[in-house]
Amino acid sequence: MKENIGVSKTCRYLCHLFMKLMNFVTMRGLLTRVIHRVLLSQTFTATMGVEAEIHTQGRRKMVVGLGNPGMDGTRHSVGMAVLGALATRVGVGERWRGDRHVSGDVIVWEAEHGQVVLLRPRLLMNVNGASVARAVSKYGVRPEDVLLVHDELDKPLGKVSLKHGGSARGHNGVRSCVDCLQTDVMPRVRVGIGRPSGSTSVDRHVLGRFSSEEQKVLASVLVQSVDLILSQICPQDSQFPSSAPGGRRPPQKKTQQTQEDASAAAQS
């Protein structure tokens, strides 16, 4: 009898704990949605009419580095690090400018095939979808042309993959973008950061900085990530050749010398 009473009390306690947890998750989700609606209020929508003239013919693309502003060097902000490496690779790294209308830092890169908007949201990760939605509206970009770059717990550091839309898979920044854009068609570059070891919590892990050993791997990860992004946004652009593994550029072929040798051989 005493054992049954003990089991019953344990079950009640677990049910109560589960309900409290569900209420917390539900309230957090509702609060996030309220913040999204406030950030995407009618006041901002009216501003878009003023910015309409910046829309041009053609189809723009956008690359967004997800992260937390002011937390550079942390695992959760590795998407921003990748975006910075991309801007440097294509020669526009000094052209970041703040845009209060989109709550973020922006570069409009005139690529060979058309314009590419680079965006670093200034909002916290959980609500940075509002910044993305504002930029999509201002710059006339379709959601399917928005490439999200973010950290991925379920992949070890050193692994980078491409995901063609779908669910947020637990990533709050991606979930915010899906909620604000009201679609999940956005492709994503998922940069592995690995799961915490030992008793380290997930929050502490993702908000922590890369260790000195991880920094050695990170350099090649940034190169690999930029290569993948360029293959998606300008696949036929030979102006930015892929880098070899380890961050080294492939050796340049001596095309001019080869042509001269062939010409000399033909004359002889």
Distance, CA of 62 to chain centre: 11
Distance, in Å, from the CA atom of 152 to the CA atom of 44, rounded to the nearest integer, reads 32
H or E stretch covering 106 = strand 104-111
Distance, in Å, from the CA atom of 224 to the CA atom of 219, rounded to the nearest integer, reads 9
* Active-site annotation holder among 16, 36, 55, 76: 76
Distance, CA of 95 to chain centre: 19
Query: Is residue 171 among the annotated active site residues?
Result: no
Distance, in Å, from the CA atom of 182 to the CA atom of 79, rounded to the nearest integer, reads 22
Q: How far is CA 192 from CA 20, 156, 182, 230, 257, in A?
A: 32, 5, 26, 18, 42
- Contact assessment for residue 102 and residue 54, using Cβ atoms and an 8 Å cutoff: no
Q: Which of 137, 136, 161 is nearest to 62 (CA)?
A: 136
Amino acid letter at 31? Answer: L
Distance, in Å, from the CA atom of 221 to the CA atom of 224, rounded to the nearest integer, reads 5
Q: Which of 66, 40, 60, 46 is nearest to 180 (CA)?
A: 40
Sequence-distant (6+) residues with CB within 8 A of 224 are: 160, 243, 245
Query: What amino acid positions are annotated as catalytic residues?
Result: 76
